[in-house]
Amino acid sequence: MNISVNQERLSAELDTLATFSDAPAPAVTRVLWTARDLEARAYFQILCSEAGLSVRQDALGNIFARFEGTEPHLPAVATGSHTDAIPHSGRFDGCVGVLGGLEALRALKSAGFVPRRSLELIMFTSEEPTRFGLGCLGSRTMAGVLSPEKLRGLKDGDGIAFETARSAGGCSGELETVRLPEGCYHAFVELHIEQGPLLEKAGLPLGVVAAIAAPATLRLTIEGEGGHAGARLMPGRRDALLAGSELALAVEKAALSTGAIDTVGTTGFFQIHPGAVNSIPSRAQIEIDVRDIELERRDEVVGQIRAAWDEISERRGVSGALETLNADPPATCAESIVSASQNAAKALDLPFQKMVSRAYHDALFMARLCPTGMIFIPSKGGISHRPDEYSSPEEIKRGVEVLALSLAELAA
């Protein structure tokens, strides 16, 4: 089959999507159910309709655009990713998989391809944990890992209840309907930027993902004691910032302690109260991210962090319980999907390597529902979650071509 991807159209659409942002360009900030997120959703639905796909949205705002197959009763082949973006990040993370997925379906249509199984493009709700502290809200709920009850109990940083935010985001219906049965899809393939430096270093245009690292997220509110920075003497202070500082350094130490290159630990959120130069910090809110491709090693690092916190909090006389927001197992990609992507790369004469995804993706949860795989394209300088995140139009085009051929094989 001769696939023709319209590189200019796709670049222009990625440019337009990037304008729906609460940060000045080139930075992108697009948080769940903000006005910018709703604009991006509307734009995506318009493009899908224009492409002749039938569009539906579930109660959680996951959007499904369908290219009907000749045997529509068969489990469909799905692709997709997310369009939400953490504060001051870039324009390619997630968006390449959503708009690139759309371009793949358009290219297949143009090529006259008629799928036996239907093809579905999914825009997942809130892959990023920005608003409710938990990532992959859409795919996690679809896979039954996150219950509607737990969803309803979530609050954002401003204290807004999940259901209030969902309603303001234009979603209605019972959350119980979001969960999908195992086997509902025949396959899932996600196209994504690597977000790491390996493909660029190896000079390869393509990565076929064999496994997705296991993420864990911890949250903590440290309660110490405030007071006047001048008048309160040093002995007996219970400074929440200093306790938090020690914990952040302990996270780094624990991640380095495994000696494995695949272990990472980051304190990405750190906010103190009251935050005045002449006032001792009485409270610190902290979120920690730990990942590894090996579950046991990841959990050992989490254990080390917990032990460090026990020691720090007791010694400094501050309180606060380390809450586990999520601790997901890693996912292994299905041989059938890996094979389809490899076949596609070979057909297009593109060199590739098999690799691990250190970032997590909606694919991590889709892997619970059906055979799942991922296709990576290079990230310039290995940079992601930053305004200077970049993959070239040619790199994106090649990824879309591989995705299209993979979908074609799986849906044939």
Which positions from 86 through 125 interact with a copy of itself, judged by CB under 8 A? Answer: 86-89, 93
Planar angle of CA 23, 28, 32, nearest 5 degrees: 95
The whole-angstrom separation of Cα 396 and Cα 346 is 17
Nearer Cβ to a copy of itself, position 115 or 196?
Answer: 196
Among 142, 213, 220, 301, binds a copy of itself (CB under 8 A): 213
Among 83, 139, 217, 372, binds a copy of itself (CB under 8 A): 217
Among 21, 126, 282, 391, binds a copy of itself (CB under 8 A): 282
Quick one: three-class SS letters along 238-274? CCHHHHHHHHHHHHHHHHHHCCCCCCEEEEEEEEEEC
Site string for a copy of itself, 291-330 (x = CB under 8 A): x---------------------------------------
Cβ-proximal residues to 325 (8 Å cutoff; 6+ apart), any chain? 129, 133, 134, 217, 218, 219, 287
Query: Which one of the spans 113-121, 200-208, 237-245, 395-403 is the region binding a copy of itself (CB under 8 A)?
Result: 237-245
Minimum distance from CB of 170 to a copy of itself (Å)?
A: 24
Minimum distance from CB of 395 to a copy of itself (Å)?
A: 16
Reply yes or no: is the peptide bond before residue 235 cis, omega within 30 of 0: no
Residues 177-196 that bind a copy of itself (CB under 8 A): 194-196
What number of other Cβ atoms are within 10 A of residue 315's Cβ?
10
Minimum distance from CB of 192 to a copy of itself (Å)?
A: 11
Among 76, 143, 208, 242, binds a copy of itself (CB under 8 A): 242
Please check whether residue 76 is in contact with residue 69, taking contact to mean a CB–CB distance below 8 angstroms: yes
Query: Which one of the spans 68-76, 148-156, 381-389, 401-409 is the region binding a copy of itself (CB under 8 A)?
Result: 381-389
Four-point Cα dihedral 393, 344, 127, 246, nearest 10: -90
The whole-angstrom separation of Cα 319 and Cα 312 is 10
b/e map of 84-93 (b: 16 or more CB within 10 Å)?
bbbebbbbbb
Planar angle of CA 195, 201, 203, nearest 5 degrees: 105
Q: Binding residues for a copy of itself, how many (CB under 8 A)?
A: 71
Minimum distance from CB of 78 to a copy of itself (Å)?
A: 23
Nearer Cβ to a copy of itself, position 38 or 229?
Answer: 229
Residues 30-49 that bind a copy of itself (CB under 8 A): none
Nearer Cβ to a copy of itself, position 152 or 201?
Answer: 201
Looking up tokens 């999507």 gives: 17
Minimum distance from CB of 189 to a copy of itself (Å)?
A: 20
Among 34, 83, 267, 406, binds a copy of itself (CB under 8 A): 267
* Dihedral sign (CA 251, 291, 23, 38): negative
Minimum distance from CB of 235 to a copy of itself (Å)?
A: 8
Nearer Cβ to a copy of itself, position 8 or 261?
Answer: 261
What number of other Cβ atoms are within 10 A of residue 130's Cβ?
22
Q: What is the DSSP letter of 381?
A: G
The whole-angstrom separation of Cα 288 and Cα 302 is 10
Residues 53-92 that bind a copy of itself (CB under 8 A): 86-89
The whole-angstrom separation of Cα 98 and Cα 192 is 9
**Residue 227 in contact with a copy of itself, rule: CB under 8 A:** yes
Quick one: three-class SS letters along 33-44? CCHHHHHHHHHH
Residues 384-403 that bind a copy of itself (CB under 8 A): 384-386
Nearer Cβ to a copy of itself, position 12 or 249?
Answer: 249
Nearer Cβ to a copy of itself, position 227 or 329?
Answer: 227
Please check whether residue 61 is in contact with residue 173, taking contact to mean a CB–CB distance below 8 angstroms: no
Q: What is the DSSP letter of 231?
A: T
Site string for a copy of itself, 127-166 (x = CB under 8 A): -xxx--x-x-------------------------------
Nearer Cβ to a copy of itself, position 118 or 126?
Answer: 126
Please check whether residue 224 is in contact with residue 239, taking contact to mean a CB–CB distance below 8 angstroms: yes
